[in-house]
Amino acid sequence: MPANKRDKASDVFNSTNYAFCSKVSFSEAFPQIKNMRVEVEEDGEGVYELSKRQVFYKENMGEFINCSNSRCYNGGFNIGSIIRNMVESKRTEFETDRRCQGYEGSPKGKKRYGPCFNSFHIKVQITYNE
């Protein structure tokens, strides 16, 4: 890994092997979802006007949405848990705020400077199969 590359939440998730479960595609995990739209507005370090608002759909959704702060390790938030809770309760719309789960650190990752203060405003809309 280059010295200036810090793994984000999705990188950590993708490189982790779990003992009691396996990773599957979004369609396999949520066969009851017909369509989905997730709108994320991020505020904080490394966020520019063009990247401030991102939209995700069923086809490009992962377990985590990453933080834009270039000094942040393991940054982002878990969108998968939000979707699982919505599906369990059959909700079609949900809106919330999350803080980045990551931390700022030295370029080689040996020192932690403190939490990342980036934040996310999330709007989720789900259409279920009949």
Residue % of the chain over a pLDDT of 90: 55
What are the tokens at 15?
């490189």
Residues 67 and 9: beta-carbon distance below 8 Å: yes
**Alpha helix locations (H) across 41-122?**
79-88
What are the tokens at 121?
């405003």
The position carrying tokens 């979004």 is: 26
Residue % of the chain over a pLDDT of 70: 84
**Does residue 67 have a pLDDT over 80?**
yes
The position carrying tokens 């370029």 is: 107
State the pTM of this model.
0.81
Q: Which amino acid is at 93?
A: E
> Distance (Å, rounded) from C-alpha 13 to C-alpha 63?
8
Boundaries of every domain in the chain: 29-98
When the pLDDT of each residue in the chain is averaged and rounded to a whole number, the result is 86
Rg (C-alpha) for the chain, rounded Å, is: 16
